[in-house]
Amino acid sequence: MRQLILDTETTGMSSRPKPPEEGHRVIDIGVVELIDRRITGNDYQVYLNPQRKIDPVTIPIHGLTDEFVSDKPIFSDIHTEFIDFISGAELIMHNASFDSGFINQELKMLGYKDRLEDLCQIIDSLEIAKEKHPGQRNNLNALINRYEVDGSSRDLHGALIDAKLTARVYLLMTGGQVGFFSQEDEESHNISSSTDRFDYSKRKIIHALSSTDQKEAHSSYIEKLSKASNKKLNW
């Protein structure tokens, strides 16, 4: 069975355009491949130029700036290879409505008729976590701690590293065992090591302004994403 764990980073919280020029966009896509519940190392990752400004409230979360994404491809440049990579797989996302909502909006803007739901079977790992752990916090950070997954290298959110963490949590959560990975897997796909192709440690942490409105928006953003940093964000 081919399963894919997908995560995104975005310019802001809502993909709904109101008006169109205010609709937030995807700036980072990360996908981890599983074959028969084994991480293959055949990952997909791309940074994107959103053709709009990144909301300053989100920058402390993912560390991606307007300058960084200015020379990256736009979604229309990569959508064919992206669709080819994910089509027909079981697609797992944590808080799936958020990530799928953004991807579907990108496809819609290109006039693409199919949605992710038409291309893949969608599984929401957040819903699985809620069923297994009712009444508890089930965002990614809480699950990382609960299942003792090493996320110590993640100072900032990144689509690929978050997808790798989600994959580890998903396998432990649905497999019922902590020692799921072989030693070779641990060495090849160690979550605590950064990805070979993308050095997240080189991104700068840019501090947001300290207004009450921005703090509230920032907190709301993290809650809706069901993502939390391993380190307390500094304002």
Instruction: List, by residue number, the catalytic residues.
Output: 157
What the block records as the tokens of 6 is: 């997908």
Length, in residues, of the chain: 235
Rounded Cα distance between 205 and 64, Å, is 9
**At 74, which helix (H) or strand (E)?**
none
- Distances from the Cα of 119 to the Cα of 22, 91, 123, angstroms: 27, 9, 13
3-state helix, strand and coil shares in percent for the chain, rounded to the nearest 5:
40, 15, 45
Contacts of 106 (CB under 8 A, 6+ apart): 25, 26, 75, 79
Alpha helices by DSSP H, listed for the chain, are: 59-62, 66-69, 75-86, 96-109, 116-119, 125-132, 140-146, 159-175, 183-188, 212-225
DSSP readout, 101-133? Answer: HHHHHHHHHTT----HHHHSEEEEHHHHHHHHS
Which residue has tokens 């200015």? 70
- Distances from the Cα of 48 to the Cα of 76, 93, 184, angstroms: 10, 19, 32
